[in-house]
Structure 1
Amino acid sequence: MNDPNAYVTLSAGAAIFEEGEPGAFAYLIVAGRAALFLRRDGVEVSVAERAAGEIVGEMALLDAGPRSASARAIEDCILVSVSEEQIRHRLHNADPILRLCFGVIMACCRDAVALPRPNGTVAPNGTVAPTRAAGAHFTPSLKADFEASIDAMMTERALRLALNRNEFELYLQPIVHLGTEALAGFEALIRWRHPEKGLVHPMAFIPVAEASELIVEITQWVVSEVGRIMPEIMRAALQNPAATDGPLFLSINVSGHDLARASFPEMVGEMLRSTGIAPSTLKLEITETTVMRDPVGATEALSQCREAGMGVAIDDFGTGYSSLSYLSKLPITTLKVDREFVRAMLTTPSNRKIIQTILRLADEIGIPVVAEGIEEPAEADALAEMGCAYGQGYRFGRPVPLAETLALTKAWRLAPYDAALIVAA
């Protein structure tokens, strides 16, 4: 029975599905009981019973194989169908190690009710003894999960070593005041200097760090490193006061795992107190997706940070959930427009309108906007004309290590300029 309706009502004795059929649905039992059984040589072999609160048909749905057993209602039943589409994307987005464990469990479950081979037997309790060869269910998808799991575990191990060996570095990218192009601050971006692979981009290791929650320790390292380098950047700015029109700020990226820890606001606050760095010069950047995973927890943690004087920026605004409700609840001090909008704004009218809408919204709630991904002077000029306060991108400089950042700060001059010449200087 493959019924696309959400609720299914069956009388006692009615078939739910048959062994060998494709499994497009699983069924949650809301009321009643169901029996799972095999037919062998004209005899029904009982496999299990399921009652209200349990599920039937999940095996074929989860591993895309045929039904491993038949099912019928023992009593009048009310079932809720669960479709393949409802499950598939959730599995796809799961951690590969979790998917591998799940796949192995599913293979073992199928072996437990395997069709008997010539030497197969039915045990006294009515179950069929497994006779499949080892690895019979090592499907291409399971093999891919296995390989991805190996990569994830090796990366996780290497990340732990990297923390112990101090292999991480902070690269800093300039953020400027649009119009004058005075230096406003920097975004701190983590890099991993692997002893064999060289410089590793964050996208190659941050997802593993978040899945393993090593991201919490990495963020602690970032906060500590900011406490070390921020005074150096401030001293460099003092040597070139004409390049800025106020104190520089430094932005760091924060994950949902960080905000979930009750100790996070205090950890950052302690760094600020011990170093004497003004809280207003530190901004915490979070994505819309991070916020919407736990709006209540994120609001509480960020409110504590804001009360301590730190800034809060929503990164990649417009690409995530874009729920306007959190704009009135979160203590946001800055919006960052995603680079994808900026890159197409001169050629795609809809992108330009999106940016204009974001700028009007930010103006209404009284917070500035940073446009990311600016590469061309024309982009910077257009954004300045629209009232965008800050800009970030290769037009003003790529992310570089501390030494180059200090040289850049000391040599910075106002527009028009060539960022490459400043770095060279």
Structure 2
Amino acid sequence: MNALHTSLDRTLVPAGSLLFSAGEPGDAAYLIVGGRLEVFLARPEGDIVLAHRGPGEIVGEMAILDRRPRSASVRALEDSALVAVTEQQLAHRIAETDPILCMCLGVVLERYRETVALLEQMKGAASPMPVPALRPSATDGVFAAALNTLVLEREIRSGVADGQFEMHFQPIVRLASRRLAGFEALMRWRHPQRGLVPPSAFIPVAESSGLIGDLTGFALAEVGRVLPELMLGALHNPRHIDGPLFLSVNVSGHDLAAASFPQMIADLISQTGIAPGSLKIEVTESLLMKDPERAAEALAGCRRAGLGVAIDDFGTGYSSLSYLSTLPVTTLKIDRAFVRTLLVDQTSRRIVQTVLRLADELEIPVVAEGIEHAEEADLLTEMGCAFGQGYLFGHPAPLEAAIMTIREWNVVDRSLQAKAS
């Protein structure tokens, strides 16, 4: 009989309980964290044992992969702890898999089902089949990575539903005047146990699982909500603000490839009433390289709607120059790796100078990221870089702190502070 207990992270199966039976529809596969399971064909004359599975292995994946009923039953030989992998989680990953690999996987599954069918026709097969040994410990790293990904994916989904994500804002400054020009909106995850989690820890999992669309939808909605508040704050300090503030928000290659992305942008503008020219869509070169044609189409739609398009980490990809001729770029952002070594490495300085000259010829403004020292800002200003961003001018901060930054921004104080740093 079934006697399962399921929590957010674990399915607990007491010894002797069935996890599922042959013929049932497959709604999940299971990573085995602890305990031992038996895969078998139930027969009145005696069960046919197909395999034993233990920690570091998976059961129930076949019915998810080929969307057919369970081919065998599984029960717990001892108290077992499992982590479920849902059909939705696997479907997204299979869709992203190379088609030849998918075809090979289909052949393997079909051969397995043919073997199971032959076993079902066997007569007098009451004695168990040889049971394969458990996998060696060499797979522990792979299993741990898969387990961590699944748990994190589930926590992200829960975090979106529970409102754990928030946007922080980092100042972008007009270098020549030190006036405040805008902000980059950066996502943070206020996890109930882990604290404030940076994007590098959760964005890759969100992209691989298909959850990135939910996060981007949240980010765009927040940007539309807060931009009027930032603009209002600028009205209280016009002398130190470089014209209307702009706001940059990051999107992923998955977002650009989604058919719903243009409508998402259109809804943002119509529902919030913000001026499209005050918003920039920011995307990295590495993500553009995955599907440049689709990216160009999506970004062209953003430009038609009046939004700016910023290429982040410019200079780190392999096709930087080609993007400038095929994409509707309005801003380039020089990667912080070049800025960090600008004062001590002649190669970095030449690369930055080359980018600035090229951008000047194309009339595209440049933002230098990762500025931490006044000497870096001064040199970039002399080289003709329009904008700067980095800890020298401010850390990413919640909305309330960003509004306070706008109201209290003072060009003279900032210049003196930079010289003293």
User: What displacement does 1:418 show?
Assistant: 3.2
Q: Give the residue type in structure 1 aligned to 2:391.
A: Y
Alignment of 1:249-398 (within 5 A): 249-398=246-395
What is the aligned partner in structure 2 of residue 200 from structure 1? Answer: 197
In structure 2, how many angstroms separate the alpha carbons of the residues matched to 1:143 and 1:351? 41
Change (3 A) 1:133 1:384: same
Q: Give the residue type in structure 2 aligned to 1:163.
A: V
Per the alignment, in what secondary structure is the counterpart of residue 289 of structure 2? helix
Change (3 A) 1:130 1:389: farther
User: What displacement does 1:144 show?
Assistant: 0.8
Per the alignment, in what secondary structure is the counterpart of residue 179 of structure 1? coil
In structure 2, how many angstroms separate the alpha carbons of the residues matched to 1:257 and 1:204? 18
In structure 1, how many angstroms separate the alpha carbons of the residues matched to 2:320 and 2:314? 10
In the alignment, does 2:133 pair up with 1:134? yes
In structure 2, how many angstroms separate the alpha carbons of the residues matched to 1:184 and 1:247? 7
Q: Give the residue type in structure 1 aligned to 2:180.
A: L
User: What displacement does 1:138 show?
Assistant: 3.2
User: What displacement does 1:298 show?
Assistant: 0.1
User: What displacement does 1:267 show?
Assistant: 1.1
In structure 1, how many angstroms separate the alpha carbons of the residues matched to 2:334 and 2:365? 11
Q: 234, 239, 249: which one pairs with 1:237?
A: 234
Change (3 A) 1:138 1:179: same
Per the alignment, in what secondary structure is the counterpart of residue 246 of structure 1? strand
Alignment of 1:132-171 (within 5 A): 133-135=132-134, 137-140=135-138, 142-171=139-168
Q: Give the residue type in structure 1 aligned to 2:136.
A: F
What is the aligned partner in structure 1 of residue 32 from structure 2? Answer: none
**Displaced runs of 4 or more, over 4 A:** 129-132
In structure 2, how many angstroms separate the alpha carbons of the residues matched to 1:356 and 1:386? 7
Per the alignment, in what secondary structure is the counterpart of residue 381 of structure 2? helix
Check whether the contact 2:314–2:320 (CA below 8 A) recurs between aligned residues.
Answer: no
In structure 2, how many angstroms separate the alpha carbons of the residues matched to 1:267 and 1:158? 25
User: What displacement does 1:143 show?
Assistant: 1.5
Say how many residue pairs are matched.
301
Q: 198, 201, 220: which one pairs with 1:223?
A: 220
Q: Deviations for 1:295-343, whole angstroms, at most 9, x for unmatched residues?
A: 1000000000001110000000111223422211100000000001001
Q: Deviations for 1:344-378, whole angstroms, at most 9, x for unmatched residues?
A: 01000110000001001111111010000000000
Q: Deviations for 1:73-116, whole angstroms, at most 9, x for unmatched residues?
A: xxxxxxxxxxxxxxxxxxxxx99x99xx99xx9xx99xx9xxxx
In the alignment, does 2:187 pair up with 1:190? yes
Per the alignment, in what secondary structure is the counterpart of residue 415 of structure 2? coil
In structure 1, how many angstroms separate the alpha carbons of the residues matched to 2:228 and 2:182? 13
What is the aligned partner in structure 2 of residue 411 from structure 1? Answer: 408
User: What displacement does 1:272 show?
Assistant: 1.5
> Which stretch has the larger CA shift, 260-269 or 386-395?
260-269
| TM-score, normalised via structure 2 length | 0.68
In structure 1, how many angstroms separate the alpha carbons of the residues matched to 2:278 and 2:159? 28
User: What displacement does 1:273 show?
Assistant: 1.9
Q: Give the residue type in structure 1 aligned to 2:324.
A: L
Q: Give the residue type in structure 2 aligned to 1:259.
A: L
Q: Give the residue type in structure 2 aligned to 1:387.
A: G
Q: Give the residue type in structure 1 aligned to 2:309.
A: V
What is the aligned partner in structure 2 of residue 214 from structure 1? Answer: 211
In structure 1, how many angstroms separate the alpha carbons of the residues matched to 2:333 and 2:136? 45
Check whether the contact 2:334–2:369 (CA below 8 A) recurs between aligned residues.
Answer: yes
User: What displacement does 1:261 show?
Assistant: 1.2
User: What displacement does 1:139 show?
Assistant: 4.6
Q: Deviations for 1:192-221, whole angstroms, at most 9, x for unmatched residues?
A: 001111111111111100000100010000
Q: Deviations for 1:45-90, whole angstroms, at most 9, x for unmatched residues?
A: xxxxxxxxxxxxxxxxxxxxxxxxxxxxxxxxxxxxxxxxxxxxxx
What is the aligned partner in structure 1 of residue 176 from structure 2? Answer: 179
| TM-score, normalised via structure 1 length | 0.67
In structure 2, how many angstroms separate the alpha carbons of the residues matched to 1:390 and 1:319? 19
Root mean square deviation, CA, Å? 2.5
Higher Cα Rg, which structure: 1
In structure 1, how many angstroms separate the alpha carbons of the residues matched to 2:165 and 2:381? 35
What is the aligned partner in structure 2 of residue 47 from structure 1? Answer: none
Check whether the contact 2:168–2:399 (CA below 8 A) recurs between aligned residues.
Answer: yes
In structure 2, how many angstroms separate the alpha carbons of the residues matched to 1:130 and 1:172? 62
In structure 1, how many angstroms separate the alpha carbons of the residues matched to 2:169 and 2:306? 22
In structure 1, how many angstroms separate the alpha carbons of the residues matched to 2:320 and 2:181? 28
Alignment of 1:94-133 (within 5 A): 131=130, 133=132
Per the alignment, in what secondary structure is the counterpart of residue 280 of structure 2? strand
In structure 1, how many angstroms separate the alpha carbons of the residues matched to 2:306 and 2:246? 12
What is the aligned partner in structure 1 of residue 31 from structure 2? Answer: none
In structure 2, how many angstroms separate the alpha carbons of the residues matched to 1:148 and 1:218? 22
In structure 1, how many angstroms separate the alpha carbons of the residues matched to 2:281 and 2:152? 26
Gaps of at least 5 residues in structure 2 are: 1-92, 113-121, 123-127
